[in-house]
Amino acid sequence: MYSAGDVRVEDRDDPRIIEPTDAIIRLTATCVCGSDLWPYRGVEPADHQVMGHEYVGVVEEIGADVKNVKVGDFVVGSFVISDNTCEICRAGFQSKCVHAEFVAQIGTQAEKARIPYADGTLVATPGHPGPELIPSLLAASDVLGTGWFAAVAAQAGPGKTVAVVGDGAVGLMAVLAAKQLGADRIIAMSRHPERQALARYYGATDIVEERGDAGVAKIKELTNGLGAHSVVEAVGTQESFMQAVGATRGGGHLGYVGVNYDVTIPGIELFFAGIHTLGGPAPVRRFLPDLIDLIWRREIDPGRVFDLTLPLEEAAEAYRAMDERRATKVLLTL
C-alpha cells in the first residue's frame, strides 16, 4: 500500500530464513481484512507498506530449530507471531506473547512469507485439504479465530443471550462461535439483508436493525429490560463500542476485538455499566487446533464469509470491493 487507497502488486525478493526458529511458507490463499481498510481509508497511516496477515499455505523451508512443522506440511497460522511457550502464551494469551509480532508487518498478501517462531505460530492440518476447505481454513487464521475469541470473551454459552454488534466477517464468525458454544439466543445487529441472511445461516435467532441508543433500547426490549448476558463488539467505532456497553446487562460480559484510534471510553459510563470486558488482538493460536478440527470434520463452514474471490494480482480491486461494501470479505488466490 503506497498510500491510502493506492494498493499495488509488485515483485519483491523471496523471503529467506533469518532465525533458526523461522519457516518459509508458500501461500495457498490469503485475503483482505476489515482492519486493512483503516490505512486504505486514511484512518491509519499508510506509507509504502506490505499488507496482509491472514494465510494458509505449504511449508517450503524450516530453520534448524523448528520441530512442530516440516517441509511439505499444510499450515494455518495466527495473525500474531507467538512462541506458545512463555507464561503469557500458556495462560492462553498468545497475542500478548513476550515474542509477539504482528504478521501485518511481514505481509502475507504475497506468494511467500517468512514466519518467525514457526513452532509456536503455525498449526499443521491433518493432511493437504481439498480446495473446498481452503476458505474455511483461511478464515481460521483471523476472522474465525477473532470472532471465536470475542464470543469466548463475552462468555457466550448455554443459558445466555448473546448480542453481536457488527455484521462484518468477524461479527458473523462471532455468531457462528456463539452457536457452537451453545448460546440460547443470538441477536445479530445488522441492517444489510444479505448479511442478515448469513447471520441467520450461522445461528442468529434475532436480527436488530437499530443502532446506537435505539439499538440498545431494542436489545433491552428483547431481554426483559436487562440487556444481553454476552455482547460482542466487532465494529470498532465510538458509537458501536458504546452501543455494546449499553447492550450488556449489569454483571454481563463484553468481548471486543477491534477499536479504531479515536475511540475514547467515558470512564464513568463504563463504571456505572458494571460489566466485565475482555478485548484485544485475539489469541487465535489458542483456538486454532480446535477450529481446524471442526473445519476438517465439516462441523463448521466459516468459509462462506468470503463472498468474492480474486487472484492476488487483483488485490487493488479486492480492496475497492470491500471499501465500497460490494464484498464482505475477499479471498485472494495464488
- Residues in contact with a copy of itself by the rule CB under 8 A: 87-88, 91-93, 95-96, 98, 224-226, 238, 241, 249-251, 256, 258-261, 263-268, 270-281, 283
What are the two backbone dihedrals, phi and then psi, of residue 287, each rounded to the nearest 5 degrees?
-95, -15
CB 231, min distance to a copy of itself, A? 14
- Please give the DSSP secondary-structure letter assigned to residue 19: S
- Which residue number, 71 or 91, has a Cβ lying nearer to a copy of itself? 91
Of 293, 325, 301, 273, give the one whose Cα is nearest residue 34: 325
Of 30 and 82, nearer to a copy of itself (C-beta) is: 82
CB of 258 to a copy of itself, least distance (A): 7
> What's the min distance (Å) between Cβ of 256 and a copy of itself?
7
Q: Give the nearest distance from C-beta 71 to a copy of itself in angstroms.
A: 32
Tell the smallest beta-carbon distance from residue 283 to a copy of itself (Å): 8
Helix (H) or strand (E) holding 146: helix 143-153
Closer Cβ to a copy of itself, 152 or 315, answer by number? 152
C-alpha distances out from residue 291 to 201, 298, 329, Å: 18, 11, 19
> Do the Cβ atoms of 222 and 245 come closer than 8 Å?
no
Q: Which is nearer to a copy of itself, 271 or 324 (CB)?
A: 271
Long-range CB contacts for residues 103-107, cutoff 8 Å, separation at least 24: 103/52, 103/53, 103/55, 103/77, 103/78, 103/79, 104/50, 104/51, 104/52, 104/53, 104/79, 105/50, 106/50, 106/53, 107/49, 107/50, 107/51, 107/52, 107/53
Q: Least distance from C-beta 246 to a copy of itself, angstroms?
A: 13
Residue 127 or 224 having the CB closest to a copy of itself: 224
Least distance (Å) between residue 52 CB and a copy of itself: 20
267: Cβ–Cβ under 8 A, 6 or more apart, which residues? Answer: none
- Terminal C-alpha separation, the chain: 19
Q: Which of 196, 223 has the CB closer to a copy of itself? A: 223
Measured from the CB atom, is 74 or 256 closer to a copy of itself? Answer: 256
Residue type, 215: G
Q: What angle do CA 331, 324, 315 make, to 5 degrees?
A: 35
